[in-house]
Structure 1
Amino acid sequence: MILAATGMRREARIIARAGLVPVISGGDAGRLRGLLTAQAARASAIVSIGIAGALSPELRVGDIVVGDRVLIPPRNGEGDHPQGGGGERATFGGFAGPSTACGGPPPRDKLGEELLTVLPGARRGVACGSDAMVITAAAKARLYEACGGTLPLIIDMESHVAAQVAQEHGLPFAFIRVISDRADQDLPPAVTCGLKADGSMAILPVLAALLRKPAQLPALIRTARDTDRAMRSLLAACDVLARGGVGLADRG
């Protein structure tokens, strides 16, 4: 089986169409690590699939980014910076550069390359891992600079965990991420309380945040619209995978 790390139930329902086994974080990196580790011995690969934020300014909502390299920037702070340690960023997955995190690279695998060949319009990129949601354009810009700003760069909350677990178990890894917010786009603070531990939507906390700060409403509507567009792109990508174009069934 192929484990598919993702954040939300909504994503998981789409991912299951491709014959993958969704593993839902609910926004909790520790939970995701535990769930992936518990199933890794029976897995043939680990992928990270779902929506993501753009760090590169050229990326637009709905763009699909595929890769096997994940960076963890060194700074952390106030919910706007991914976790990290020391003075250097850690690299997982594709190992395009030295890893400061753990061990040597697993055997090279062509999973990421296969995904790029079968997903129409997908772009090769690099993922930036974060344990917390990054919601401001200023924070995204700082992360873009910290990560080098080379290939198209995205940020999500699952890829770094999935890449670490894959590395620890010698499994192939790749990510497929669809942009849901641009690099220059601020997200309303209410989105940070919109997810339950099981990956379902937490409607009441979002409404409470909206009552405290009603000015968020236009941005919240825009965010919902952009998320819907990203989900449609994710659905199209998973339908391609479901047709077996990448040989996922052979890996499972």
Structure 2
Amino acid sequence: MTPPIIVVTGMPFEARIARGDGVVVVCAQNHTLASDLEAAMAPDGARGLVSFGTAGGLRPGVTPGQWVIAHNVLDMPQQAHAYLSCAAWANALRRAMPDALRADLAGVTAPVVTADDKAALWRESGAAAADMESHIVARVAHAHGLPFVAARVVIDPAERSLPPAALAGLRSDGSTDILGVLRSLAVNPRQLPALLRVGKDASRARQAMRHGRRIVTLELGDGFGAVAAGI
């Protein structure tokens, strides 16, 4: 049996978009992701790993809905160790999505919430965006000698801080907590305009992900599979 491509996401809505024929999806938060990914690989192995989903913008001017195809994934918890993504996979995605940005991604352990913190991480890393799963995907791929690529859509721009309600609406498993949002709004109703902007940005990111998922599927079936098989 041919080993699968494993696609990794951090949030349930990302996993729903990622699912489809020809791939196995692992959706987990970063504190359990490595073990969950190892468990998914245990039965049949994997041809390679793909980090797929959203990322927070770090580089000024990078807008919601912008695809970022990682050149390096920078493992910030491990002194910004750089994991080079599979060039053939990344180049195939970049050719298929000519508007995508080829840049570094920063892997972090917690959301980067404020504009000041985003600016500081950008100065430190030079990365265009940050997410909480790609560095773990890169670690596991490196440990197993597997090709990997990270393809992420910016969901919030570098210039904008997230309102408290946006974080209150996230459960520990990445799903949405509507009551948490309402409680936060009740405490501070003035954050409503910022929360509505977050919702608009998230809608743009979801639309970009749905379009990009079709492209990734084609590349997984052709160029990705060939590279992973050593052809």
Match of 1:81 in 2: none
Match of 1:184 in 2: 159
Q: Which residue of 2 aligns with 1:214?
A: 189
Gaps of 5+ in 1: 74-83, 95-107
Shift of the alpha carbon at 1:199? 3.5
Q: Which of residues 164, 173, 177 in structure 1 aligns to 2:139?
A: 164
Output one character per residue of 1:28-86: Cα deviation in whole Å (capped at 9) or x when no partner.
3121111112123411111111111111113111111102411133xxxxxxxxxx25x
Partner of 1:136: 114
CA distance in 2, matches of 1:179, 1:246: 26
**1:124 equivalent in structure 2:** 102
After superposition, what is the alpha-carbon deviation per residue over 1:105-157, rounded to whole angstroms, capped at 9, x for unaligned?
xxx6522122212224112111101110111110000001111x3xx611111
Name 1:243's counterpart in structure 2: 218
**Matches of 1:242 and 1:39, distance apart in 2:** 20
**How far apart are 1:195 and its partner, in Å?**
2.6
> Relative to 1, partners in 2 of residues 1:137 and 1:153: Cα closer, same or farther, differing over 3 Å?
same
**CA positional deviation for 1:242:** 2.8
Instruction: Quote the Cα distance in structure 2 between the aligned partners of 1:39 and 1:109.
Output: 25
State the shift of 1:215 in Å. 1.6
CA displacement at 1:187 relative to structure 2? 0.8
- Superposed displacement of residue 18, structure 1: 6.5
* Alignment partner of 1:232 is 2:207: yes
Q: Is the contact made by 2:59 and 2:158 (CA closer than 8 Å) also made in structure 1?
A: yes
Q: Using a 3 Å threshold, how does the CA distance of structure 1 residues 189 and 215 change in structure 2: closer, same or farther?
A: same
Identify which of 177, 201, 204 aligns with 1:202: 177
Aligned residues of 2:64 and 2:205 also touching (Cα < 8 A): yes
For the 8 Å contact 1:66–1:125, the answer to whether it is kept is yes
Aligned CA distance change for structure 1 residues 35 and 125 (closer, same or farther; 3 Å): same
Alignment of structure 1 residues 1-252 onto 2, 5 Å: 1-17=4-20, 19-25=22-28, 28-41=29-42, 42-73=45-76, 84-85=77-78, 88-94=79-85, 110-147=88-125, 149=126, 153-244=128-219, 246-250=222-226, 251=228
Post-superposition CA distance 1:11-41 (Å, at most 9, x none): 111111464322112xx31211111121234
What is the DSSP-based 3-state SS (H/G/I as helix, E as strand, rest coil) of the residue aligned with 1:224? helix
Distance across 1 between alignment mates of 2:75 and 2:147: 19
Aligned residue pairs: how many? 222
SS at match of 2:50: strand
- Structure 1 length as normaliser, TM-score? 0.81
Q: Which amino acid aligns with 1:15?
A: A
SS of 2:19's equivalent? helix
Q: What is the CA–CA distance in structure 1 between the aligned matches of 2:21 and 2:55, rounded to whole Å? A: 19
Query: How far apart are residue 89 of structure 1 and its match?
Result: 2.6
CA distance in 2, matches of 1:240, 1:23: 19
Once the two structures are superposed, what CA deviation does each residue of 1:218-238 show, in whole Å capped at 9, x if it has no partner? 111110110010110111111
Q: Distance in 2 between matches of 1:123 and 1:91?
A: 18
Judge conservation of contact 1:93–1:167 (CA < 8 Å) in 2. Answer: no
Q: Is the 8 A contact 1:55 1:183 kept in 2?
A: yes
Mapped to 2, the partners of 1:163 and 1:68 lie a distance apart of 12
Q: 1:154 to 1:188 in 2, by over 3 A?
A: same
What is the SS of the residue equivalent to 1:116?
Answer: helix
